[in-house]
């Protein structure tokens, strides 16, 4: 099992995944809301968009923009069940466990935290 740091290093090698960055509007949103609120949003999005065994519109359920967590989901390969399977070997057609959901949220939040540290 890979660590968050190992996963992020692996993702940096993908030109598509590494093309995602928080813009100034995203950074302002994170700053105004705070990381605790963003983490709650991440939990909600993971639960609603990824957790079901057969997510609605799987492969198209996560917008590419509109919320910092959406960008993080694409940047980390956590945007749909197909990407979760490809990048992390998460089995298809099975509901995500609470532990799997928590690991995804930790990865998303670390990506966001690193983006916030980098600045514009």
- 31: containing domain: 4-118
Decide if pLDDT at 120 tops 60: no
Cβ-based neighbours of 60, under 8 Å, separated by 6 or more: 80
How many angstroms separate the CA atoms of 51 and 105, rounded?
12
How many angstroms separate the CA atoms of 51 and 28, rounded?
28
Q: How many domains does the chain have?
A: 1
Residue 1 — pLDDT band, cuts 50, 70, 90? low
How many angstroms separate the CA atoms of 71 and 111, rounded?
10
Residue 72 — pLDDT band, cuts 50, 70, 90? very high
- The predicted model gives 26-34 an average pLDDT of 98
Instruction: Give CA 120 to chain center in angstroms.
Output: 20
């Amino acid at each position: 099992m890979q660590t968050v740091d190992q996963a992020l290093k692996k993702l940096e090698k993908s030109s598509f995944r590494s093309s995602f960055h928080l813009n100034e509007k995203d950074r302002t949103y994170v700053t105004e809301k705070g990381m605790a609120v963003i983490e709650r949003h991440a939990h909600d999005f993971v639960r609603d968009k990824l957790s079901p065994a057969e997510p609605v519109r799987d492969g198209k359920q996560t917008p590419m923009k509109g919320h910092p967590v959406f960008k993080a989901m694409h940047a980390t390969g956590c945007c749909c069940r197909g990407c979760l399977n490809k990048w992390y070997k998460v089995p298809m057609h099975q509901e995500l466990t609470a532990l799997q959901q928590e690991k995804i949220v930790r990865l998303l939040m670390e990506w966001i935290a690193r983006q916030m540290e980098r600045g514009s």
